[in-house]
Structure formats: structure tokens, C-alpha cells
């Protein structure tokens, strides 16, 4: 990508600021107050990716393995994950989410979607069309 213009740099700054604020506000739309954002992130990763070893979860969530071990223990104590022997390596375990965790995630997504849809009602038709058109690019940007 070529060097950014002043307008591009201003747009980057506005995008950063607005996405951070929106993410913060979305985090407040929680179903289960006893779960930290990191714990919810682990449950979300398990829902998206399926069973994983603690090491895989640590890499995906960008935390150190000892921290992930503690997070898994707390989630297991709350009945939200289960550990099972690894099918190929007896030294490891795989972690999976429980039905209770899946129910929490489903309700959390429902609540956050409803909150965001309510906010979107305050936009003009033109603004909403821009958001809809930008959604795929924002999703791609989030996963780069």
C-alpha cells in the first residue's frame, strides 16, 4: 500500500477510535457478569473452532500457557468447559465447551445483536447502507 495521505491517516484514526468505543460498549451488553472478557473469548474460540488443547487456546487468545491453564480451570469449575484426554497424545488434554457455555454464548450474541440493531435504527438509510457495504471489509480487516 502506498504512503497514506493526511485524509487516510485521519480515517484510520477515526476507525480505530470508533471501533474501540463500539467494542467497549458491546462488552457491556453481557449476559453472564461473572465471566471476564478473556473467559468469554475462550468460550467463543471453542464455539468457532471446536475442541482445542490448552496450548492452542493460549496461542489463539494471545495469552501465556500458564494463564490459559488458570482460565480453563475457572471455566471448568463453573461448568462451562470440560477436559478430555487427547486422542493421540496421552500427555495432553483437549478442552471443549459445555451446553451451558453454548447457551450463554447464544444469549450473549442475541443480546448484543439486538442492542446493535437498536443503535442502527438511529442511522439514516444512507448511513446504514454504508455500514452494510463496509461490513465484509471490516470483517476481513478484523481477521487479518
- Digit-coded pLDDT (tens) for 29-67: 877 788 988 899 999 999 999 999 999 999 999 999 999
3 state DSSP class of 27: helix
Domains of the chain: 31-142 (1.10.10.10)
C-alpha cell at position 108: 450473549
Q: How many helices (H) and strands (E) does the chain have?
A: 6, 2
CA distance 63 to 81: 18
pLDDT above 90 (res 143): no
pLDDT above 80 (res 2): no
- Digit-coded pLDDT (tens) for 75-119: 999 999 999 988 888 888 999 999 999 999 999 999 999 999 999
Amino acid at each position: 500500500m502506498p504512503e497514506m495521505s493526511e485524509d487516510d491517516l485521519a480515517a484510520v484514526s477515526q476507525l480505530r477510535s470508533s471501533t474501540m468505543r463500539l467494542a467497549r460498549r458491546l462488552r457491556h451488553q453481557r449476559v453472564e457478569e461473572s465471566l471476564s472478557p478473556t473467559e468469554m473469548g475462550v468460550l467463543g474460540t471453542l464455539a468457532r473452532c471446536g475442541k482445542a488443547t490448552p496450548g492452542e487456546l493460549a496461542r489463539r487468545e494471545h495469552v501465556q500457557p500458564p494463564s490459559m491453564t488458570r482460565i480453563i480451570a475457572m471455566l471448568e469449575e463453573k461448568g462451562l468447559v470440560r477436559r478430555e484426554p487427547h486422542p493421540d497424545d496421552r500427555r495432553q488434554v483437549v478442552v471443549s465447551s459445555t451446553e451451558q457455555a453454548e447457551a450463554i454464548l447464544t444469549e450473549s450474541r442475541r443480546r448484543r445483536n439486538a442492542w446493535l440493531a437498536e443503535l442502527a435504527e438511529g442511522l439514516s438509510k444512507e448511513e446504514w447502507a454504508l455500514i452494510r457495504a463496509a461490513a465484509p471489509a471490516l470483517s476481513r480487516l478484523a481477521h487479518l
